Structure 1
Amino acid sequence: MSGPNTEYDPVAVTPLKTEEVEAARDAALAAIAAASDLEELKAVRLEHAGDRSALALANREIGALPPQARKEAGQKIGQARGAVNQALTARQEVLEAEHEAQMLVVEAVDVTLPTDRVAYGARHPLTTGAELIADVFVAMGWEVAEGPLIEAEWLNFDALNLGPDHPARTMQDTFWTEPAEDHRVLRTHTSPVQARTMLTREAPIYVVCPGRVFRTDEYDATHSPMFHQVEGLAIDEGLSMAHLKGTLDHFASQMFGEGISTRFRPSYFPFTEPSAEVDLVCFVCRGVDPESCRTCRGEGWIEWGGCGIVNPRVLRACGVDSERFTGFAFGMGIDRSLMFRTGLSDLRTLFEGDVRFTSAFGSEL
């Protein structure tokens, strides 16, 4: 029996020749050293260390050698591939450091330069608040009515049963325009819009009137000479205080959350009879623990506005048949309602024009 072939010379296999392995290694090391950026190094890695590289193909030839020749060939190829991989790692670290340093220069931002960015604007919460209130009533089938800020004395007072001797007509309560013989005022409430509506429309009437009003009040945390009101007027056959109560309960729940109800306290207004003050159940303690509530201060209720059945004199003055139709009206401050909803403690915040305040509300309330 013949023995193993001991005369086989692995040098005779071209890819495994020492000079060929060294040439492949040297070519790879030269290409690695010449790579100027990470993209070039990636291409060098594929060419000289990938599955189709000269050293990888030579490594495959080791399996065809006889056992006694594999060790020497394996060491030779392994050392060459190890040198190439070590060079790749070192070169990559250098190129990554250079890339990061370059990016710091290229993408540097001078924070001292003036910016050309324009901040996003925001709608004033009084505007969005008035629209929210209008939406509540439009959803109920009502209409939104508007009127001028400078109003005729007759519409602002006489048509609403505020006689010539009523104290609201004095200079201490009302802004009068010049000349005095024009008998015009900055409207003290939005009720003139209700009078205009009754004069120009046929009953039934269901309108809500949000807008600015003016009174000679001091400017402080709870008062302003210019503020915002919303008033509602319903004229139809058979309307009563029960319809008024249901309307205001729905309005309150839409503004302040489910479970918020109202109560009436007897009061007096020249344009309504009977009349009532409207209170909200405290939207913080819900009337459950008023003694410890800082919002309602132990009352369990918060004053909201005024309301009542439209005085027949007002109906007749505006051309409405008071024998056939009845109506109800209500009014409250939009500013006050907004303070309730947002927790504002100072009314002046609404009028100071600070963009940091309005920006917090965004485009909706």
Structure 2
Amino acid sequence: MPAEPAEERNDIMKEQLEAIRAAAKKALSDCADSKVLETLRVQYLGKKGELTGILKQMGKLSAEERPAMGQLANQVRADIETALADKQKKLAEAMLAHKLEAETLDITLPGKKQKVGSMHPLTIVENEIREIFLGMGFSVADGPEVEYDYYNFEALNLPSDHPARDTQDTFYITDNILLRTQTSSVQVHVMENQKPPIRVISPGRVYRSDAVDATHSPLFHQIEGLVVDKGITMADLKGTLELLMQRLYGDDCKIRLRPHHFPFTEPSAEVDVMCFQCHGKGCRMCKGEGYIELLGAGMVHPKVLEGCGIDSSVYSGFAFGLGLERIAMRRYNIGDMRLLYENDYRFLEQF
């Protein structure tokens, strides 16, 4: 007796499901590439895949046949998903094994030596100067690089018509705020907030509107010193600077003081150091003088002391300011200041 159409559909669907399971397992077993594996997943389990196409025909089955057919379809899907997961795991393991083999390190090879940096010559010299002054009982003071006109000029006895206040020399931000041209401004802050005795140095960056050449830069470094106490004289200033230069350049180093003028010191002096090349005899380096100008110094002007609330009839003091670049260039015989800022490795590795 011929089968009913519903029974035929049931048998055909079973055969299709079994065929899909067998074909999927065979294809997954032969697969050797993760991209092909993804293609097979879409082909059999995707929204438009073969298994989904069969499941769409479930509506043609009777209510009694659907549970059994649904169970078979779920089993087929589970088998394909299991086979797919197993193949994914095997491909991943194979890929890892290949990668480890390809990236094997030969630990018998010598290692690459790591280059170690060194301190910048300016940092070396600044640290040495700091240590020298700390050994003499000084402390280190810091202050703002963006400064009020009062602290940079007025409090240091620089009147409004002084040439140093010209905008060609100073970077003004507003009429009252500027980039400090000297670290002497830090000394004013110290004297306003600390009672004598005072012994400080103030290293830091300063800014002036200078052209860039072998001896000038719009940004450079200063180290200024200040001592305020009872009975301080020019002899104390000379002794302090002599000791500094001997520590920096050797025990045979000599200095000399020449009269000069600075608005914030009285009396004032230019300080020269004995030429390192000819030792005072005169040569091309020192232009026959035997000495090289190095820094400025003097006794703190009474007006500056009084402006900071210090009684100039009781206390006196000395101040000095030296350019860190100039000291470093003399120390290492560097002929061009620009070398200190260019970050040329060939130059810096010498230190």
Q: Give SS of 1:265's match.
A: strand
1:169 paired residue number: 165
For residue 120 of structure 1, report the CA deviation from its aligned partner: 1.1
CA RMSD of aligned residues (A): 1.8
For residue 107 of structure 1, report the CA deviation from its aligned partner: 9.9
Distance 1:354 1:317, change over 3 A: same
TM-score between the two structures when normalised by the length of structure 1: 0.65
1:295 paired residue number: 285
Counting only pairs closer than 5 Å after superposition, residues 6-17 of structure 1 correspond to structure 2 as none
2:253 paired residue number: 260
TM-score between the two structures when normalised by the length of structure 2: 0.67
The reply on whether 1:339 has 2:335 as its aligned counterpart is no
What is the aligned counterpart of 1:307 among 297, 316, 320? 297
Counting only pairs closer than 5 Å after superposition, residues 37-116 of structure 1 correspond to structure 2 as none
For residue 282 of structure 1, report the CA deviation from its aligned partner: 1.2
Distance 1:108 1:297, change over 3 A: farther
The reply on whether 1:224 has 2:233 as its aligned counterpart is no
For residue 295 of structure 1, report the CA deviation from its aligned partner: 2.1
Tell me, in whole angstroms, the C-alpha distance in 2 between the residues paired with 1:173 and 1:335. 19
The reply on whether 1:245 has 2:235 as its aligned counterpart is no
For residue 195 of structure 1, report the CA deviation from its aligned partner: 0.5
Q: Which amino acid aligns with 1:354?
A: D
For residue 298 of structure 1, report the CA deviation from its aligned partner: 1.3
Tell me, in whole angstroms, the C-alpha distance in 1 between the residues paired with 2:344 and 2:279. 33
Q: Which amino acid aligns with 1:294?
A: R
For residue 117 of structure 1, report the CA deviation from its aligned partner: 5.1
Tell me, in whole angstroms, the C-alpha distance in 1 between the residues paired with 2:144 and 2:186. 8
1:136 paired residue number: 132
Tell me, in whole angstroms, the C-alpha distance in 1 between the residues paired with 2:201 and 2:162. 26
Q: Which amino acid aligns with 2:268?
A: S
Tell me, in whole angstroms, the C-alpha distance in 1 between the residues paired with 2:244 and 2:285. 20
Return 230-239 or 350-359, whichever deviates more: 350-359
Distance 1:116 1:107, change over 3 A: closer
2:120 paired residue number: 124
Q: Give SS of 2:164's match.
A: helix
1:73 paired residue number: none
2:208 paired residue number: 215
For residue 108 of structure 1, report the CA deviation from its aligned partner: 9.9
Count of residues in Structure 1 that have an aligned counterpart in Structure 2:
246
1:103 paired residue number: none
The reply on whether 1:355 has 2:351 as its aligned counterpart is no
For residue 328 of structure 1, report the CA deviation from its aligned partner: 0.4
Counting only pairs closer than 5 Å after superposition, residues 311-322 of structure 1 correspond to structure 2 as 311-322=301-312
Tell me, in whole angstroms, the C-alpha distance in 2 between the residues paired with 1:173 and 1:333. 17
For residue 192 of structure 1, report the CA deviation from its aligned partner: 0.4
Distance 1:109 1:331, change over 3 A: same
1:200 paired residue number: 193
For residue 109 of structure 1, report the CA deviation from its aligned partner: 7.2
Tell me, in whole angstroms, the C-alpha distance in 2 between the residues paired with 1:118 and 1:168. 48
Tell me, in whole angstroms, the C-alpha distance in 1 between the residues paired with 2:201 and 2:238. 16
Q: Give SS of 2:317's match.
A: strand
Q: Which amino acid aligns with 2:304?
A: V
Per-residue displacement from partner, 1:254-274 (whole Å, max 9, x unpaired)? 111111111111110000001
Per-residue displacement from partner, 1:44-67 (whole Å, max 9, x unpaired)? xxxxxxxxxxxxxxxxxxxxxxxx
Q: Give SS of 1:122's match.
A: coil
Tell me, in whole angstroms, the C-alpha distance in 2 between the residues paired with 1:200 and 1:241. 25
The reply on whether 1:148 has 2:144 as its aligned counterpart is yes
Q: Which amino acid aligns with 2:139?
A: E
Q: Which amino acid aligns with 1:247?
A: T
What is the aligned counterpart of 2:317 among 327, 332, 339? 327
Per-residue displacement from partner, 1:113-137 (whole Å, max 9, x unpaired)? xx96542112211112111111100
Tell me, in whole angstroms, the C-alpha distance in 1 between the residues paired with 2:125 and 2:211. 24
Q: Which amino acid aligns with 2:148?
A: A
Q: Tell me, which stretches of 5 or more residues in structure 2 are unaligned?
A: 1-105
Percentage of matched positions with identical amino acids = 49
